[in-house]
Chain A
Amino acid sequence: MNKTDIQAMPAGLAGAGAGGTARPKVTTFATELGRIAAIGLFFAVCLFLFRSDPFILNMMAYTFLFAALSTSWNIIGGFGGQFSLGHGVFFAIGAYTTANLYFHWQVSPWLSLIPGMILASIVAVAVSWPTFRLKGPFFAIATLALNEVAFVLATYFDSVTGGPRGMLLPFKAGLVNMVFTSRLPYAIIMVGFLLISLVVAAYVLRGRLGYYLQAVHLDEDAARAAGIDVLKVKLTGMAISAALTGIGGALFAMYLRFVDPPTVLNIQDIGVKFLLIALIGGVGTLYGPLLGALLIIPLESYLRATLGGTIPGINLLILGGLLVLFALFMRRGIFGALQGAWERYRGARS
């Protein structure tokens, strides 16, 4: 333990805007890369330890996927303060693009990640351009409506989406097809996706765009007065966030090998989940969404596994109660709580 580490801690944890140390030290992208590498190493060890336990691997894959998706949401939702409830749309675009290319033209899902990303970004920019005129809750509600529009359209235009029947992707195992019998490759892919999202998020947060986004978040008018092109900054953040979300949708489609509107455009299971996870972990912080996913996904499936067969809904009843308690006692997420604990500890020592 050395002195610089102690000083770097709060600023590094807090991201910009929530510091509070006398001598804040700017955390660079390089520092974050080191941290992300350490996280990657840790998860690699985890995967190795549980390599022959499909149940754990499956849960890890799902946890990492949602950690990555929530990290992606956090770029525009957390750093930029644009409380989007419509990320399910970009998720669905990634899922449907990959499913279509794989189903009709046998294109390897690895390749279709790229068109999925691009399409998600384009749609994100196109729908955000007008909706970014709205602020706060208005923006949130408009994006929620977008998810609903997408649901209706996906159900209606069945030549593209398979309509209500959905698309059942054939089981042809192989690396090229991104279809595996074992859960280990899925977990590895999801860890990879998580690391990519973290690197991108770190790059954004610790670069010019990140400061712009946070400035827009804190005070849009002041940011504009300072010469920031607010709309451009928001659109760029949204495009990056949506592209990553599109990747997540594509991976999800190959993990389930099934895509239909109630699964990928589900508000409660998909669209709102990204931000719930980010809020639990610590919205606007780099590692908060990861912490949130590590808590909420295993908790949810543990409750379902142990209580799901007893009284209907009892598992979710408890989950809902825990969420409310959580909101009350960890107002700034796990990250905020850890940070608070750290500051108290440091205060006690000095």
Chain B
Amino acid sequence: MAAFLNIVIVGLLLGGIYGLVSMGLNLIFGVVRIVNFAQGELVMLGMYGAYLSWFLLGLDPYVSALVVVPCLFVLGVIIQRFVLQPLQNEPFMQIFATFGLLILFQNAVLAITRGTGYSVHSELSRIVISVGDINVNLSRLIVLATVIVVAIGANWFLHSTMYGKAVRAVTQDRRSARLMGINVELAFMLTFGVGAALAGLAGVLLAPIYTLSPQIGGNFILAAFAVVVLGGLGSVWGAFFGGFIIGLIEAFAGYYLSPELKHAIWFLVFIAVLIVRPGGLFGIAGAEEVGLREQD
């Protein structure tokens, strides 16, 4: 029983990590309708941003979010404005461009660091909370708390503010939204910026947990895509619960079955769910019908 409970906790904490990484992707994927392959690299840049703030300014990674997150927001706006917006009518080329960005960011960091595996320090990441047989590192708990706050915040924002309503309008029908006087391009820029900022936030919060490498973004991206699609396009709660579902499956498969097969198992579950419910678990029915080419 203790082991079972422990695995539940492990799965929830892992789900928190997946959820946090997926929040930004979900926003970009859901609203701007771009499969952003470079999202993992934005998380990676957030991590290195935390390292740099620590190295240069001596900032604790949790404080450095105040610097890193706005920087990533600006980067996201720039990417949307100068790379993706000009390609708005060429969805295939948008994917292509994000792949170019992926290679670009990865290797820029590699060229600068030569690939040394840096670590970011925070006193908080050394604190372990123990309840009985269950041990939880504070830095992972912070991730979990953050994903809850972000999900609630995003949900409130999308449903209770004018801007959020505009974003949802753009998501549902960008042509009509434009007719209603919504500046679609601006909405996209800000959305992509927020998506990148969320990736940066994820990077900062994950930096104390991992050893940084230029390729680390790739470790998250596939899971993040799976979470977003599993949860359902355009649904904040989808990404939230999707993360936990995948985290729990991975933890249980890894502990009780075989660590070697845990990824195959959750990928297969993911594909199976998708086949039964193409719109994702929490998706708006028919969202999956929106193919790449139906943008305008």
Q: State if A and B touch, Cβ cutoff 8 Å.
A: yes
Q: How far is the CA of A319 from the CA of B270 in the complex (A)?
A: 33
The residue in chain B whose Cβ has the minimal distance to the Cβ of A284 is: B92
Q: How far is the CA of A217 from the CA of B268 in the complex (A)?
A: 27
A73-125 with Cβ < 8 A to chain B: 81, 83
Residues in A with CB closer than 8 Å to B248 are none
Q: Is A176 an interface residue (CB 8 A)?
A: no
**Contact between B267 and A316, CB atoms less than 8 A apart:** no
The residue in chain A whose Cβ has the minimal distance to the Cβ of B89 is: A331
Interface of B, secondary structure class, is helix
**Contact between B263 and A324, CB atoms less than 8 A apart:** no
* B contacts with A, residue count (CB < 8 A): 52
Q: Is B60 an interface residue (CB 8 A)?
A: no
Q: Is A170 an interface residue (CB 8 A)?
A: no
**Contact between B260 and A152, CB atoms less than 8 A apart:** yes
Q: How far is the CA of A280 from the CA of B229 in the complex (A)?
A: 27
The residue in chain B whose Cβ has the minimal distance to the Cβ of A150 is: B264
Interface of A, secondary structure class, is helix
* A contacts with B, residue count (CB < 8 A): 47
**Contact between B96 and A323, CB atoms less than 8 A apart:** yes
**Contact between A136 and B275, CB atoms less than 8 A apart:** no
Q: Is B222 an interface residue (CB 8 A)?
A: yes
**Contact between A279 and B92, CB atoms less than 8 A apart:** yes
Most buried by B among A83, A312, A313: A313
The residue in chain A whose Cβ has the minimal distance to the Cβ of B260 is: A156
Give the A-B pair count, Cβ closer than 8 A. Answer: 152
Residues in A with CB closer than 8 Å to B235 are none
Per a CB cutoff under 8 Å, which of B103, B222, B294 touches A144?
Answer: B222
Per a CB cutoff under 8 Å, which of B35, B108, B260, B270 touches A317?
Answer: B108
User: Would A149 and B264 be within 8 Å (CB), given that A83-B292, A138-B288, A317-B107 are in contact?
Assistant: yes
Most buried by B among A153, A217, A324: A324
Q: Is A145 an interface residue (CB 8 A)?
A: yes
Residues in B with CB closer than 8 Å to A332 are 90, 93
Residues in B with CB closer than 8 Å to A81 are 291, 293
A306-326 with Cβ < 8 A to chain B: 311-314, 316-317, 319-324, 326
A245-273 with Cβ < 8 A to chain B: 272
Residues in A with CB closer than 8 Å to B99 are 272, 276, 323
Q: Is B152 an interface residue (CB 8 A)?
A: no
A120-146 with Cβ < 8 A to chain B: 130-131, 133-138, 140-142, 144-146
Per a CB cutoff under 8 Å, which of B91, B107, B233, B261 touches A320?
Answer: B107
**Contact between A131 and B271, CB atoms less than 8 A apart:** yes
Residues in B with CB closer than 8 Å to A312 are 110-111, 114-115
Residues in B with CB closer than 8 Å to A313 are 106-108, 110-111, 115, 214
The residue in chain B whose Cβ has the minimal distance to the Cβ of A138 is: B288
**Contact between A135 and B96, CB atoms less than 8 A apart:** no
B126 shortest CB reach to chain A, Å:
32
Per a CB cutoff under 8 Å, which of B96, B107, B289, B293 touches A316?
Answer: B107
Residues in A with CB closer than 8 Å to B290 are 135-136
A279-325 with Cβ < 8 A to chain B: 279-280, 283, 311-314, 316-317, 319-324
B251-284 with Cβ < 8 A to chain A: 260-261, 263-264, 267-268, 270-271, 274-275, 278
Per a CB cutoff under 8 Å, which of B33, B35, B94 touches A141?
Answer: B35
Q: Mark A319-350, 1 if CB is under 8 A from B, else 0.
A: 11111101110011000000000000000000
**Contact between B97 and A327, CB atoms less than 8 A apart:** yes
Q: How far is the CA of A191 from the CA of B111 in the complex (A)?
A: 36
User: Would A137 and B35 be within 8 Å (CB), given that A142-B271, A156-B261, A313-B106 are in contact?
Assistant: yes
**Contact between B102 and A141, CB atoms less than 8 A apart:** no
Per a CB cutoff under 8 Å, which of A146, A316, A327 touches B271?
Answer: A146
**Contact between A83 and B115, CB atoms less than 8 A apart:** no
Please give the residue numbers on chain A whose beta carbons come within 8 Å of chain B beta carbons, in ascending order.
81, 83, 130-131, 133-138, 140-142, 144-146, 148-149, 152-153, 155-156, 217-218, 220, 272, 276, 279-280, 283, 311-314, 316-317, 319-324, 326-328, 331-332
Name 7 A/B residue pairs within 8 A (Cβ), A-sorted.
A83-B95, A134-B274, A136-B91, A140-B95, A142-B229, A145-B222, A156-B261
| A-B residue pairs, 9 tightest by C-beta | A323-B100, A320-B104, A320-B103, A313-B110, A313-B107, A136-B291, A152-B264, A327-B97, A136-B292
